[in-house]
């Protein structure tokens, strides 16, 4: 089975961070988010992965290369003009061939059993299966309703079923699709697979199912989501998480105070009587100066906190600082 990671988006909701990096390369616990999804696919035996590119696509390709260091073979699909999720998938029809395939959004963290998802998909005889989860924010994510057997009956308010025994869920960003989807896609270059296609498939009676995922999931749509993902990974052990960078020097002054959980990149420095933690990720080469206090924040590589500064619930890069409130976070005293 082959897979695709949707990585061509502009990352508009995560701006201004995505003015510096394409969203798939934004670091979570000091590793680019796309690496988590590559390693998830590898964990379940997938060897060939396609990645579509648009916004700052050269940076993604330069970082991932041919995929060999991940134990994968990566094929790139460049989109000079954005094709939408549906157009991006259809452009790779030849790559997928005549077998079912997986599609996953580049901007999610999910601890999902892909083998179980595929087994469910095949058992239902589905044309397409969406991995769904309990809906925590109907306004933001919309609702997909399934019947007792998991078949999708209502889709984002675009069609209504005649039965009342339906269950509301939200989409996680992971699909399994049969090659038959290509002949059932609209005859246009650019379109969204969710907004423009699924409701039509369901309305036409094509078997589309929802697989229920109750494990860890986080969407990195906004700076707040992004900060929370980093805080999550300080305390959540994902079996497929990328390994740490090779050991480097982390320099801590004897007078500095560190409160777990924290993560320190190679070459990062906590100087003087700085106070760091809880909930801090220091990127490689970052520097917290004497007298500074940092909590519930992420420092990107080579970011610097000046002497005496107080930084809380911030994302700090070499060029900017973005405030992003985390969940249930008391303020520094």
Q: Is residue 81 part of a domain?
A: yes
Same domain, 93 and 126: yes
Q: Are residues 204 and 307 in the same domain?
A: no
Query: CA dihedral defined by 301, 302, 308, 313, rounded to 10 degrees?
Result: -20
Q: What's the confidence (pLDDT) of residue 177?
A: 98
137 shares its domain with 182: yes
Structural domain ending residue among the three candidates 223, 256, 277: 223
pLDDT at 55: 87
Distance, C-alpha 274 to centroid of its chain: 32
**Rounded distance between C-alpha atoms, residue 61 and residue 52, angstroms:** 10
Contact 212, 113 (CB under 8 A): no
Burial of residue 45 (number of CB atoms within 10 Å: 0-12, 13-18, 19+):
exposed
Q: Within this chain, do residues 25 and 133 fall inside the same structural domain, yes or no?
A: yes
Residue 115 belongs to a domain with what CATH number?
Answer: 3.90.550.10
* 35 and 140 inside one domain: yes
Collapsing DSSP states into helix, strand and coil, what is residue 250?
coil
> Please, which residues bridge with residue 174 across strands?
104
Q: Model pTM greater than 0.85?
A: yes
In a domain, 109, yes or no: yes
Q: At what angle do helices 33-43 and 114-124 cross, to 10 degrees?
A: 60
Question: Does one domain contain both 20 and 169?
Answer: yes
Q: What is the pLDDT of residue 84?
A: 94
The H-assigned helical ranges of 174-235 are 193, 199-203, 223-235
Task: Please check whether residue 194 lies inside any domain of the structure.
Answer: yes
Task: Identify the CATH number of the domain in which residue 296 sits.
Answer: 2.160.10.10
Report yes or no: 246 and 224 within 8 Å, Cβ to Cβ. no
**Rg value, the chain, Cα:** 21
Instruction: State the residue range of the domain holding 299.
Output: 244-323
For residues 196 and 200, give the distance between their C-alpha atoms in angstroms, rounded to a whole number.
Answer: 7
Short-list 266, 280, 272, CA closest to 252: 272
Low-confidence ranges of the chain (pLDDT < 50): 247, 329-333
148 and 263 inside one domain: no
Sole residue written with tokens 């060897």: 47
Cα–Cα distance measured from residue 8 to residue 43, given in angstroms and rounded to the nearest whole number: 24
pLDDT of residue 331: 42
Same structural domain, 106 and 27: yes
- Which one-letter DSSP state was computed for residue 266? T
pLDDT reported for residue 332:
41
Q: Are residues 169 and 293 in the same domain?
A: no
Cβ atoms of residues 31 and 68 within 8 Å: no
Does residue 26 share a domain with residue 170?
yes
Match 């999708």 to its residue by tokens: 152
Q: Is 232 part of any domain? A: no
In this structure, the answer to whether residues 197 and 251 fall within a common structural domain is: no
- Do 213 and 278 fall within a single domain? no
State the pLDDT at residue 163. 62
Rounded to the nearest 5°, which phi and psi values hold at 304? -135, 135
Q: Give me the count of residues in the chain.
A: 333
């Amino acid at each position: 089975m082959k897979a695709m990671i949707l990585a061509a988006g502009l990352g508009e909701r995560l701006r201004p961070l995505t003015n510096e990096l394409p969203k798939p390369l934004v670091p979570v616990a000091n590793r680019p988010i796309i690496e988590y999804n590559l390693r998830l696919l590898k964990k379940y035996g997938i060897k060939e992965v396609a990645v579509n590119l648009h916004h700052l696509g050269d940076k993604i390709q330069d970082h991932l290369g041919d995929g060999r260091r991940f134990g994968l073979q990566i094929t790139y699909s460049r989109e000079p003009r954005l094709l939408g999720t549906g157009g991006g998938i259809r452009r790779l029809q030849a790559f997928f061939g005549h077998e079912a395939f997986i599609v996953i959004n580049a901007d999610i963290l999910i601890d999902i059993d892909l083998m179980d998802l595929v087994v469910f998909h095949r058992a239902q005889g589905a044309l397409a299966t969406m991995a769904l989860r309990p809906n925590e924010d109907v306004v933001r994510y919309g609702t997909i309703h399934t019947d007792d057997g998991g078949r999708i009956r209502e889709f984002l308010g675009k069609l209504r079923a005649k039965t009342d025994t339906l269950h509301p869920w939200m989409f996680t960003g992971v699909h399994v699709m049969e090659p038959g989807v290509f002949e059932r896609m609209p005859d246009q270059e650019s379109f969204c697979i969710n907004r423009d296609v699924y409701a039509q498939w369901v309305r036409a009676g094509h078997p589309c199912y929802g697989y229920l995922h109750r494990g860890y999931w986080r969407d990195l749509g906004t700076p707040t989501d992004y900060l929370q993902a980093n805080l999550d990974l300080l305390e959540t052990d994902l079996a497929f998480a990328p390994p740490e960078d090779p050991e480097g020097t982390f320099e801590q002054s004897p007078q500095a105070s560190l409160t777990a959980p924290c993560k320190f990149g190679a070459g990062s420095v906590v100087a003087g009587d700085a106070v760091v933690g809880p909930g801090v990720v220091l990127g490689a080469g970052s520097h917290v100066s004497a007298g500074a206090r940092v909590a519930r924040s992420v420092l990107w590589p080579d970011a610097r906190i000046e002497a005496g500064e107080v930084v809380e619930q911030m994302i700090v890069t070499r060029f900017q600082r973005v405030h992003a409130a985390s969940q249930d976070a008391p303020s520094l005293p």
